[in-house]
Amino acid sequence: MNESTHRLETEDPARDVASPSLTDGLRRSLDPRSIPLNRAMGRIVTACVSLPLGAGVGVLWGVFGPPAGVAAFLVGAWAAITGTLGWWLYTWPVLHHRYASYTVNPDGIKIRTGVVWRKAISVPRSRVQHTDVSQGPLERRYGLGTLGVYTAGTSYAKVSLDGLAHGTALEIRDHLLPLEGADAV
């Protein structure tokens, strides 16, 4: 199957229901590829924090020539901050993946997230105004996407679910759209 045929099958706007296996009401975990994706983003964040902080320590050292004790403290603080941040951003994706899940049924979607503070958001299909699927450059590299579900109202007017396989996100998007001729209430 070539790419254009695949695109037509997964992005067909006339399709209004997902495959029966997706809408069976079972609780599903996010795609396991979300762990290495989030770890890659964590490495980028760690570098963006660590490099300027290290440069600042270097500038202080070069300009003021601090005593040995102060220099050791600055280098130690930089190493501790970099190490702790790097460890946390390496460990967190596994915890997030363990506690994040979603359930799709014929009536809508329920999203569960949170490691410490847990929340469950239920979006009935009848309340969905529109949906979208987005992919950043790293998500494309890992074959993942983020589903955005928009509803009327102020609280949770946009609900996002990241860490889905791109094809699954497209399938859920198509399922959540109102049936042909129906309008969101």
What single string gives the DSSP state of each residue in 108-176? EEEEEE-SSS-EEEEEEGGGEEEEEEE--HHHHHHTEEEEEEEESSSTTSEEEEEEEEHHHHHHHHHHH
Does residue 5 surpass a pLDDT of 50?
A: no
Q: Is the pLDDT of residue 8 over 80?
A: no
Nearest to 61 by CA among 48, 52, 51, 72: 72
Domain ranges, ordered by start, for the chain: 3-30+102-176, 36-96
CATH 1.10.3470 fits 3-30+102-176, yes or no: no
Q: What is the reported pLDDT for 20? A: 63
Residue 181: pLDDT band (50, 70, 90) is low
Is the pLDDT confidence value at 6 over 80? no
Does residue 109 register a pLDDT over 70? yes
Q: What is the pLDDT of residue 182?
A: 54
Kindly report the pTM of this predicted structure: 0.78
Least confident of 6-10, 43-47, 65-69: 6-10
Task: Evaluate if residue 41 carries a pLDDT over 50.
Answer: yes
- Res 16 pLDDT > 50: no
Higher pLDDT, 17 or 117: 117
